[in-house]
Structure 1
Amino acid sequence: MTATPPVHHAISLRSVLAPDTSWNELRSTLTTGSVDIDSFAALEEARCLPDGRTVARRCIDGPVCFTVSDEAFLLVVSGRVELVALAGHASDGPSGEVVGEGQVRRLVPGAAAGIRPSASTDTAVVVEVSNVPGALKEQPESLPRLAEVPALPDYYYGYSDRYARVYEAGAPLWEPPEPNEALVHALETMGVEPCSVIDLGCGEGRDANYLAGRGFDVVGVDVARPALTKARERAAAQGVEATFLERDICVLADLPRQRFDLAINMGCLHMIPDSDLRSAHLKRVHELLAPGGLFLVAHCRERWLDGFFSVPDYESVGPVVPGRVIPRRIRLEDGSTTELMLPLVPYKESPTSELIDEIRVHGFELAADLSSRTAAFGSTTVLAMRKPSPDA
């Protein structure tokens, strides 16, 4: 029997203000959906409902610090903001996160937090939704503490712009439609049966939808909104059930479950060259995996771009330097191809032994080195890493 694809919630102002929506219903929607930006743009400053719910809209052009007395949510209507925990926990995961347009983050009671525009945004618009009046109280005296926090890197949001440009040029997809061969081989080799899985940097859902079609309980996460929209469309077209969320893979806040049996990172970790962000990601994956859980990683070893469909002649590319603009081949709807000029994104190449050591530091054990099976990301390392069981 074909599974019924879940409805992805686009959170509208009407649903937030509806008096017959309970807080529990609303918080569930806010945790699993994205923001209908246009509807919230019409909100003027603040609205208070008879049940005590407060919805406030504000422009952010500088740092704002506040304390959280009751559960609340922050919705980003435009731009990008840095959400920084000053005390307690402003969100699950590390102390700081760049939250992009259309995303929602939960703020927990007892936290002191700061928000400010990201380095790539002059002014952002956010909407605060809380269950009680005054749940978010500004604390101007905390501003110096936020000012001392360095700007958070948000270069990975460039992927969202990249997907949008590719689609605007007429390509139905940026990635190949088939699942990664390395993933298929790893699942067969390791004998992985259907279980709960998180796809880290899921893009257009090629792997997540493949797994969902084989009975896995799948959550896919990415920061690229256009790609996630495509992933949801493809899930519906294939009649499979998968959940796709806009989340930073280095933070992984507000997930629908706290433990997964399987985590896959098929070509996303090597797009994070910053050592601190890589460490945050690996630490968070270890936290989310159940004891005995498997972590499958595909990571470039050398010759980045070699073997890509979008780069048919690797030897003619020249220096593969982030920021340099080169032609990339894309496939159009009718099957023909064209070229699109795109900047090269940051990346990191890691020798296999170095990658194994890097992941081991965060509590994983090597289950298998499956590197001989693929060259999908230049020369690629494919690893099966395992979180040990306490009784192992």
Structure 2
Amino acid sequence: MPVVTSAAVVSGPDSPFRLTTVHLDHLRPGEVLVRMRAAGMCHTDLSVRSGVIPFPLPGILGHEGAGEVVATGGHVTRVRPGERVLLTFTSCGRCAACRSGHPAYCAQHLTANLLGGARADGSPTVRDAAGRPLHAHFFGQSSFAEMAIADERSVIPLPPDTSDDELITLAPLGCGFQTGAGAVLNVLRPRPGASLVVAGAGAVGLAAVMAAASTAAERIIVVDRVPSRLDLARSLGATETVHATGQDLRQDLLDRTGGAGVDLAIETTGNVAVLEGLIGALAVRGTCAVIGAPHAGSTAAFDVNALLPGRRIVGVTLGDSEPESFVPHLIALHRAGRFPLDRLIRRYPFADIETAARDAASGETIKPVLVFGA
């Protein structure tokens, strides 16, 4: 019999999350049924709800899940019933990017994670109480539900000694924290003595700061408009902070580096003017990683000739991570006290999902984590 569960359904753009009874489909051979214990809330979820990201609605969002495996399809080998797991993005596993260890750049990434709302063959994983299909399969999971069907490639087994409390804390690793940390550790890879600037002290930016603090980078500069977030960034490893109040970011960074510019930069805000400032402040052979997504069609202006001395601009999705190996690395850093993500999260009962969404949108909470059964 199909599983009946409760899920937070968004009926259309700018509609609230409403807890609703839904019916999950039968498991396919490569799928896993997970009882959710926690789920992080990401700005991607809010962007879908507001209509900025064109995921089809009505539907179920959530893509930073954590829970316990209830059942597996016949072809699943990664996990077994009873194991605790984190959920992350999905990928096809067959294209050139997947085969070369870059599943975040899977040829099917947009359809499989963001735009499709169903399995690859178009079949739904969830229906409403009347039997009508709901759009789900968001990042291969749709974890804003008490029970969720996840792709096997979205599932990461946790250490056997993971406690209930740690499971909740680790939930957001599936997207935002993985993205910021991966931009540093997988893409930029600071060399000894490097300078790194992070624009935006939200969940992604602060994850980048924590990751950078575990490298040989000498200067970690954080830019934000909120003084309390800058204070937090310093406590997490930033060596300098810039209170963005409309000043010329490019000139500020050049002044701080004696005109040489910064070796590495990460843009997480989606603000094109900030991106332009970072690009203009790059040192010779410097690299700017672009993570923040502005509105579709946005363009940035920069001096093309200034790129010729080895300056680079690189887009980064999900930290260019191979989750099966990278997420366990982040867990190890967390357990060693070098990636204290517990300092960035605030827990909310699943029933308070609307409050969590408001607090995330306003910036009051850096990373809301919904707790099931709370």
Q: TM-score band (shorter)? A: under 0.3
Which is richer in strand?
A: 1
Query: Normalised by the size of structure 2, how large is the TM-score?
Result: 0.26
Q: Which structure has more RCO (C-alpha within 8 Å, separation ≥ 6)?
A: 2
Query: Normalised by the size of structure 1, how large is the TM-score?
Result: 0.25
Report which of the two structures shows the higher radius of gyration computed on alpha carbons: 1
